[in-house]
């Protein structure tokens, strides 16, 4: 009642959430910043002139402020993904507020900008998050591709990416493999698949979530 049912209702009826963008395709990344993979990802995005949205974990942002600063300076959007990677299903309302505020404070301290975008870890909501998220633009996804598992591999992930070429799509990928349920080396395969996809699809109009 506290977590599962509200999540199903909010996601099914798109209550105060975005599951689809406007024009173009939005490329988004969760769970970073990562000291190894996020800089490689930024290099790749810069090479192909792609702007993306990063939903960052606050504790990692605090640990790697130089990466957050680079994300911002290179024109990408930054959103909240809790201070710790914890599901709303097990957080009381006060702690949800704390997770969001703490992360927003860290990002603002580094970039001078207060984030307004939010994606809850695992896409989980609870009875109170409809009220909490009033202050944020909550961005979910159109396509989630399972790239947190190394066993998926670069080739299979590339095939899944090819199926995401639809106007208004929001694609979620992961630039860190250090969260619960993820494989530490999974972003290595994500980067290989994404590099091939960007190289072979340079006609896509990419849009970041701050354009909505």
Catalytic residue list: 30, 174
Q: Answer yes or no: are the C-beta atoms of 207 and 51 closer than 8 Å.
A: yes
By C-alpha distance, which of 2, 11, 18 is closest to 207? Answer: 18
Torsional class of 173: left (φ above 0), alpha (ψ -120 to 50), beta (otherwise): beta
- The DSSP code for 51 is -
Six-digit token string for 123:
């896409």
Question: How many CA atoms lie within 13 Å of 59's alpha carbon, on the beta-carbon side?
Answer: 9
**Is residue 33 reached through a cis peptide bond, with omega within 30 degrees of 0 on the bond before it?**
yes
Q: Answer yes or no: are the C-beta atoms of 96 and 126 closer than 8 Å.
A: yes
**Helix, strand, or coil (residue 54):** strand
Sheet containing 143-144: give its strands across: 17-18, 137-139, 117-118, 77-80, 53-56, 26-30, 170-174, 143-144
Point out which residues pair with 206 in neighbouring strands.
25
């Amino acid at each position: 009642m506290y977590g599962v049912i509200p999540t199903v209702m909010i996601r099914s009826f798109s209550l105060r959430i975005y599951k689809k963008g406007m024009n173009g395709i939005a490329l988004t990344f969760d769970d970073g910043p990562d000291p190894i993979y996020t800089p490689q990802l930024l290099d790749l995005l810069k090479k192909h002139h792609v702007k993306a949205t990063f939903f960052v974990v606050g504790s990692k942002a605090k640990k790697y402020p130089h990466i957050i600063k680079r994300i911002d300076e290179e024109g990408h959007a930054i959103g909240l993904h809790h201070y710790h990677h914890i599901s709303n299903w097990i957080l009381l309302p006060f702690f949800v507020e704390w997770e969001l505020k703490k992360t927003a404070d860290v990002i603002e301290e580094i970039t001078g900008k207060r984030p307004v975008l939010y994606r809850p870890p695992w896409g989980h909501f609870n009875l109170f998050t409809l009220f909490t998220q009033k202050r944020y633009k909550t961005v979910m996804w159109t396509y989630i591709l399972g790239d947190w598992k190394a066993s998926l591999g670069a080739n299979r992930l590339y095939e899944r990416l090819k199926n995401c070429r639809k106007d208004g799509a929001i694609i979620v990928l992961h630039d860190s493999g250090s969260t619960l349920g993820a494989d530490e080396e999974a972003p290595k395969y994500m980067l290989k698949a994404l590099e091939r996809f960007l190289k072979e699809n340079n006609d896509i109009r990419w849009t970041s979530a701050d354009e909505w």
